[in-house]
Amino acid sequence: MVHVPSLPASDRLVLAGLSGVAGRYGTGSDRNAPRDQAVAAVRKVSTDPRLLGIQAGVALADPQGISGPTVELLQAAGADMEVAAQHAAEVRARFEQAGIRYDRS
């Protein structure tokens, strides 16, 4: 289990950076940038497979289901997808406890 608030502040800062960069290149303003440019931008923030996986897990848990390109980008940058799947399950469980619903169809 990844309890993000328990991570060192330096890791949480990296995750914040990954959130911004991966989101921008995955579904945001730079989503049409060349793939190698997008991967390089993510890797400039971090090459740590675990941190990339945690951020991919956040994107996998997106209740609107629109973060697929961000997940793919983080995976291409080297995310540990086992960590991503585990973290996504944890995030979904917390969201569901808070009343956020997922389309299960």
Domain ranges of the chain: 4-97
What integer pLDDT is reported at residue 104 of this predicted model? 53
pLDDT exceeds 80 at position 69: yes
3-state SS, residue 42: helix
Separation of alpha carbons 44 and 92, rounded Å: 28
Q: So what's the pLDDT on residue 89?
A: 93
Query: How far is it, in rounded angstroms, from Cα 62 to Cα 65?
Result: 5
55 within 8 A of 79, measured Cβ to Cβ: yes
Burial (CB < 10 A; 0-12, 13-18, 19+), residue 103, is: exposed
State pLDDT tens for residues 37-55: 999 999 999 999 999 999 9
pTM across the whole model: 0.90
| pLDDT tens digits along 9-37 | 999 999 999 999 999 999 999 999 999 99
Identify the burial level of 61 via C-beta atoms within 10 angstroms of its C-beta, where 0-12 means exposed, 13-18 middle and 19 or more buried: buried
What pLDDT is recorded for position 1?
Answer: 53
Per residue in 71-98, pLDDT (tens digit) is 999 999 999 999 999 999 999 888 888 8
Alpha helix (H) ranges present in 1-105? 9-26, 35-45, 49-60, 68-76, 81-97
Residue 2 predicted with pLDDT over 50: yes
| pLDDT higher than threshold 90 for residue 101 | no
